[in-house]
Chain A
Amino acid sequence: MIHTLTNLSVSAITIMAPLLLAATGGLFTELSGMLNIALEGLMLVGAFASIAGVFLTDSLLLGLLIGVASSMLLSIILASVTLYLKANVFITGLAANLFASGITVILSFHLFGNRGVITFDTLKELPDLFTRFAQQMPLIAGYHVLTYLSVVLLFAAWVLLYRTPFGMRLRGVGFHEQALASLGLSPHRYRFAACVLSGLYAGLGGAALSLHLGSFVPNITAGRGWIALVAVFLGQRRPIGILLASFIFAFAEAFSNYAQGAWSVPSEFLLAIPYAISLFAIIFYSVFETRKKRVEYRKG
């Protein structure tokens, strides 16, 4: 039993990495008061561009950088149109997702001649760290580098948001943008920065997905960008909360993978588990919040 739980947790932590990265990206935009539903598209672009980059340059690092640069480029476009051309943030987010779906397939076709799955036999793999300790401490050692990076970057995000002037102003924009405007600080600038940061993180998350897999599948993200957004809300827009929420979803997915193999429940039901858990989680959370906020007045 413990063995299974440990194994599940290990899988969960690996699965968690892309989700956590994307959710952290979503944290920035959410705290700055800008609805960001483009996490899915940003992840997708990062996933594709990084794997294409690794293949083309034969270097993991360069490929990663290309991936992140691409997703950041998309986020720059998104932020520019929304903030400076004054577009509806919901529509532009959807448009960004659309664009990402389209461009990844098109480029895949034109670069690799394949609109479907692209795999490379000679592709460099993501290095695993601390493999020496993997036997004794499976929960902490032996993950690939991006998994560790996701936690480190979460911490970095916390530092940025709560220990620097930039972070404080960004949060201020989300709370009360007029207050900052009256001091001469431009809310648009901070939202723009938040959006670009979300592009960076989400792109990294997508890279974590595809590089770990070693291939790119159209729609490899499969809704993870949206789940990341749910994680941000469930985690009460706080780094610790996001970590927990991401882990919960990842664990649910790990569990459903395991159950598909071990039991003979139809795969569709197991695939639905993470979504169902998210749904119940958010319902309970809202019920709890509403109860807390309800001001009771005495009767009689």
Chain B
Amino acid sequence: MRKIERFSVLEYFLRSLFGILAIVLLSVLMLIAAIFLLSNQPLTSIASFFAGPFSSLYAIGNMIDHAVPLAIGAVGIALAMRSGNMNIGGEGQVYAGALVTTIVALALPGWGLTGILIALTSSMLVSGSVAGLSGWLRERWNVSDLITTFLLSNIIILVVDYMVAYPFVDPQTNLISTRFVDPSYHLPILLPPSQLNTALLIALLCVISAHLFLYRSRTGFELRMVGDNEEFARYAGVDHRLYRILPMTLSGALYGLGGALAILGTYHATIKGFSAGMGWNALLVALIARFKPAAIIPAALFFAYIDAGARSAMFYSDVTYEIAYIVQAVIFFLISSRILQRIALGRRRV
């Protein structure tokens, strides 16, 4: 009988936590070094970067609010990736979801909760179909979903840009934006004076449902099977057609939901380009979380923290916002290294 080493669950958890903390610490040190290099007021910069996001309820609330669409999108990506698909069209899908919700809200003024539900559903349908189309193309003709989701996304962004600038533009503002939706479509604020709203609850709901779905339901089990070994899944009778299209549709729908909630909860109008970066950031959050729903909330919060810190540093000192990109990049380089992971976990097979 061969002896196989196992750590207890707690030990494994603590070790991974330790490993991640070590990497984060390393990145923080590099950030501090970079700030010293680039800033004329390094101490102010550092202070505003790290403490800024927590300096007030306003700051904390907005930071968490920022994490909401990221978390929702990341859940979608996790589902897509776990089933062996790729969806890098998040930018377009979020943007489209936002616009659809705006249009519905403008078309059905004063409809309140019912209107919200219709708007959200429509957004999810539209964005879901776009991603689902890529999935179908991959299933039917083996067209690379990496390429189709990307190209479709770019086209959609341009289309939405056009819609916002011409048919749906609000002539009364200086911004290129649609009109604002009426207050009955605003989601209730949870933490005034920040923008944090009930979309947070929806995000939590998504994460929890995704976790239960993946690990406790038959469909989720089959989804994971297809992602792990397609041949085996086929042999075991799993309908792999379904799992090419369904996870992609879900991920698109979730991206769309994120965009829609961003409108209803935070922005209240589709301003041209407002969602730039949300799609990519959600992807990055999913990557940090290693596509595990349970890790998505902390990952999204972490990401939002870095973003908020960079913004605050930009406000209160002379550091450029783009320093956030550098930090994120370094973190990704380090976190994805299996060798570093192995070291962090104490040479256990990763």
**B150 on the interface (CB 8 Å rule)?**
yes
Q: Is the interface of B mostly helix, strand, loop or mixed?
A: helix
Q: Which chain A residues (78-94) contact chain B, with CB distance < 8 Å?
A: 81, 84-88, 91-92, 94
- B151 in complex: contacting residue of A77, A84, A269, A275, CB < 8 Å: A275
Chain B CB within 10 Å — which of A81, A95, A286 has the most?
Answer: A95
- Least Cβ distance of B214 to chain A in Å? 20
Q: Are A286 and B154 in contact (CB under 8 A)?
A: no
- Least Cβ distance of A270 to chain B in Å? 9
Chain A CB within 10 Å — which of B147, B148, B166 has the most?
Answer: B147
Binding stretch for chain A, among B63-71, B104-112, B136-144: B136-144
- The digit string for A91-102, where 1 denotes a CB below 8 A from any CB of B, is 110111011011
A226 to chain B: which residues have CB within 8 Å? 150
Q: Are A87 and B337 in contact (CB under 8 A)?
A: yes
Q: Are A86 and B329 in contact (CB under 8 A)?
A: no
B287 to chain A: which residues have CB within 8 Å? 91, 94
- B143 in complex: contacting residue of A85, A266, A269, A286, CB < 8 Å: A286
Q: Are B329 and A290 in contact (CB under 8 A)?
A: no
**B158 on the interface (CB 8 Å rule)?**
yes
Q: Are B38 and A86 in contact (CB under 8 A)?
A: no
User: A275 with B336: in contact, given A102-B323, A290-B141 (CB under 8 Å)?
Assistant: no
**B332 on the interface (CB 8 Å rule)?**
yes
- The digit string for B284-303, where 1 denotes a CB below 8 A from any CB of A, is 10010000000000000000
Q: Are A115 and B339 in contact (CB under 8 A)?
A: no
Binding stretch for chain B, among A48-56, A123-131, A209-217, A277-285: A277-285
Q: Which chain A residues (261-297) contact chain B, with CB distance < 8 Å?
A: 266, 268-269, 271-272, 275-276, 278-279, 282-283, 286-287, 289-290
B323 to chain A: which residues have CB within 8 Å? 102, 106
**A195 on the interface (CB 8 Å rule)?**
no
- Least Cβ distance of B33 to chain A in Å? 14
User: A94 with B284: in contact, given A102-B326, A106-B326, A282-B147 (CB under 8 Å)?
Assistant: yes
CA distance A276 to B156 in the complex (A): 10
User: A279 with B151: in contact, given A98-B328, A272-B159 (CB under 8 Å)?
Assistant: yes
- B338 in complex: contacting residue of A85, A229, A268, A286, CB < 8 Å: A85
CA distance A28 to B336 in the complex (A): 23
**B161 on the interface (CB 8 Å rule)?**
yes
Q: Are A88 and B137 in contact (CB under 8 A)?
A: no
**A230 on the interface (CB 8 Å rule)?**
yes
Q: Are B141 and A98 in contact (CB under 8 A)?
A: no
Q: Are B155 and A276 in contact (CB under 8 A)?
A: yes
User: A88 with B141: in contact, given A102-B322, A106-B38 (CB under 8 Å)?
Assistant: no
- Least Cβ distance of B93 to chain A in Å? 15
CA distance A86 to B336 in the complex (A): 8
Q: Are A266 and B144 in contact (CB under 8 A)?
A: no
B144 to chain A: which residues have CB within 8 Å? 233, 282, 286
Q: Are A109 and B329 in contact (CB under 8 A)?
A: no
CA distance A106 to B332 in the complex (A): 19
- Least Cβ distance of A23 to chain B in Å? 14
- Least Cβ distance of A106 to chain B in Å? 5
Q: Are A271 and B158 in contact (CB under 8 A)?
A: yes
- The digit string for B301-338, where 1 denotes a CB below 8 A from any CB of A, is 00000000000000000001011111011101101111
- Which residue on chain B has the smallest CB distance to residue A103? B326
**B221 on the interface (CB 8 Å rule)?**
no
CA distance A98 to B307 in the complex (A): 13
Chain A CB within 10 Å — which of B38, B142, B336, B339 has the most?
Answer: B336
**B162 on the interface (CB 8 Å rule)?**
yes
- Which residue on chain A has the smallest CB distance to residue B310? A102
CA distance A289 to B280 in the complex (A): 31
B141 to chain A: which residues have CB within 8 Å? 283, 286-287, 290
Ordered by A's residue number, 30 sampled pairs between the chains whose C-beta atoms are within 8 Å are A85-B333, A86-B338, A87-B337, A91-B332, A91-B335, A92-B336, A95-B333, A98-B284, A99-B325, A99-B326, A99-B330, A101-B325, A103-B326, A105-B322, A106-B323, A109-B322, A115-B322, A233-B144, A266-B162, A268-B158, A268-B159, A269-B162, A271-B158, A272-B154, A272-B155, A272-B159, A282-B143, A282-B144, A286-B141, A287-B141
Beyond the given A115-B320, A272-B154, please list 11 additional residue pairs across the A-B interface where CB-CB is below 8 A: A85-B340, A94-B280, A98-B326, A99-B329, A101-B322, A102-B325, A106-B322, A268-B161, A269-B158, A278-B147, A287-B143
Q: Which residues of A contact B (CB under 8 A)?
A: 77, 81, 84-88, 91-92, 94-96, 98-99, 101-103, 105-106, 109-110, 115, 223, 226, 229-230, 233, 266, 268-269, 271-272, 275-276, 278-279, 282-283, 286-287, 289-290
